[in-house]
Amino acid sequence: MTGGAILRVEGSAITAGDGPVLLRGFGLGGWMNMENFITGYPGAESQMRRALLRTMGREVYDRFFDRFLDVFFTDDDAAYLASLGLNSLRIPFNYRHFEDDGEPFTIKPQGFRLLDRVVDTCARHGIYTILDLHAVPGAQNQHWHSDNPTQWASFWAHRHFQDRVVHLWEHLAEHYRANPWVAGYNPVNEPADAEGSTIGPFYRRLEAAIRAVDPEHILFLDGNRYSTQFDQLGDPLPNTVYTAHDYALPGFVDGGPYPGVSRGEYVDRDQVEETFLARTAYMRETGTPIWVGEFGPVYTGDPGRDEQRYRLLQDQLEIFARHDASWALWTYKDIGLQGLVHARPDSAYLGRIAPVVAKKARLGVDSWGSTDEHIRHIMQPVEDLVAREFPAFAPYPWGAQRWIAGHVRHVMLAEAMVDDYAGCFAGVGPEEAERLADTFAFTNCRVRTPLVDILADHRTEST
């Protein structure tokens, strides 16, 4: 696992010393940074964990999460990814694994133990890892995946939070500086600096701090506005990949037919490529590599609709291949919405949380996995009121309608539902807690076969 060349940026390519490397793989969402649609809870991870601790008690809580973190990604998972011809894994993690808010700047060793295990496991199978700080102190964006329960991204306004992230990355860089199987560092996932004035200077400060410790590893820097906007970043930094996230409209939970109309816009293959080219224009203009750090459709369970989504994914992969773009598909494992591998519908865990999953769908609580179809009669009057009384109101990042949805569905209702989820585990003992966590072990999961077939086709054409 040692002795190879650390990956570097040379012009518009990522190289391993003996030629260019295209990174192709998945994101490991839901492991060291949990997300509501991935494992079934409502709200933000820290809310869910506090509620489970109250319900389960410390011993059972620890047994559940220790087992979950052990089984979610193991040698079986790495071997399976390697068997598909994939060579990379983006690993999202929450800062809370490395630092407590009550003891800022005190680094916890258990975070490294978790991350080391998966980095080393992937290395044994010839898989590079990209380390992705997905949730930072104060939250770098407005949504649940940065463990944000409020829709306020406070990170950009508080130097204290920024200092803590720089400090954490200095320790991460020191720890992984000599590891050639770490492809590089993805310091802030999907930043959303509403003013746009802090992100550029912060990136330059962070780059200098990391380079002082580790001058070799690649930085993978996301653009502003959820990794879609790069004009605020200035000239490219050395040995840096700028990363676009390229979710296509027909792949969202409310997406329409493909080709066809989604959110009022007609989308076909040409439009998908046009969007990709717009989102990666900075990379081509600056002659830097293209890496699509996240993309991928949501699956519905309806064979006809899902067939269109597989077609969309196939088109995206072919577009990426023609433009020599590396990519990380979102996400590897979940309870069935997007994962290549997913929990079995008849598992004990899914049976236990089934009422909450159904209630979340009915109330449209999850941002990523549900719509407001059943509460439109509630949402419409609020939207009409805001449009009538505040016609110029266009909050960052996506405007008034999605801002209202965020507050009503994904903050207010989600917070109210957290105890519903925790209540599903009332009375669970330590051994049963471990059995429930075992739901996510590879041998207990199913594989999304059509997605495997698409990846096999792409592997042949892009190797």
Which sequence positions are flagged as catalytic? 190, 294
Using the Cα atoms of residue 447, residue 453, residue 457 and residue 460 in order, give the sign of their dihedral. positive
Residue with structure tokens 């600096």?
A: 193
- Give the type of residue at 421: Y
Residues 382 and 120: beta-carbon distance below 8 Å: no
Three-state secondary structure readout of the chain: CCCCCCCEEECCEEECCCCECCCEEEECCCCECCCHHHHCCCCCHHHHHHHHHHHHCHHHHHHHHHHHHHHCCCHHHHHHHHHCCCCEEEEEEEHHHCCECCECCCCCHHHHHHHHHHHHHHHHCCCEEEEEEEECCCCCCCCHHHCCCCCCCHHHHCHHHHHHHHHHHHHHHHHHCCCCCEEEEECCCCCCCCCCCCHHHHHHHHHHHHHHHCCCCEEEEECHHHHCECCCCCCCCCCEEEEEECCCHHHCCCCCCCCEEECCEEECHHHHHHHHHHHCHHHHHHCCCEEEEECCCCCCCCHHHHHHHHHHHHHHHHHHHHCCCEEEECCCEECCCCCCEEECCCCHHHHHHHHHHHHHHHHCCCCCCCCCHHHHHHHHHHHHHHHHHCCCCCCCCCCHHHHHHHHHHHHHHHHHHHHHHHHCCCCCCHHHHHHHHHHHCHHHEEECHHHHHHHHHHHHHHC
CA dihedral angle for residue 440, residue 445, residue 450, residue 453, rounded to 10 degrees = 90
Is the torsion defined by CA of 93, 95, 97, 98 positive or negative? positive
